[in-house]
Structure 1
Amino acid sequence: MQGIDGRGADFTDVHLELAKLGHADLHGAMLTGATLDSSGTVGTCHEETTVWPARYTPATTESLDACGPENWKPTERDKT
């Protein structure tokens, strides 16, 4: 799921424990009840309209221009 355009997406109650969301754009996404591991949101783009699961603290956001697969490092492309 790296680099996805998840703007405004509804991930309510979705199991994302193993998802790699690096460079994903999650502006305005709904993640209420979603299950995420502690590293699942490293490198995502999000803002105050992104709704996270209760008691979940997302990783620091990336700038919007860092979102998308065109910005992946070669090693990240190899992992997809």
Structure 2
Amino acid sequence: MVQVFWGLWLFPLGYLIFKSAIIPKFLGILLMLGCVSYLINFLGNALFSNYADLGISSFVRLPATLGEIGTCLWLLIMGAKNNAISVE
């Protein structure tokens, strides 16, 4: 059940990153896809008893992994640069 909420917060975060000009848009898209992938994994584990044995859960979680780690690395290496125009 925790996995549902773990994934649901990725959609608003991904949307905010997609709309901002501070972090690249592809990371926002990956985070929004990551939200869907967490929900697919939850439903797969809940509905199918052998879902973990199929081996597709690691491929389904790939957008979430790339988006989360990519965002962390982007902020760590590049930082959040302020592109705001100063008002005089």
Bigger Cα Rg: 2
The answer, yes or no, to whether TM exceeds 0.5 is no
**Greater share of helix:** 2
Q: Could you tell me the TM-score, scaled by structure 2's length? A: 0.24
Q: Could you tell me the TM-score, scaled by structure 1's length? A: 0.25
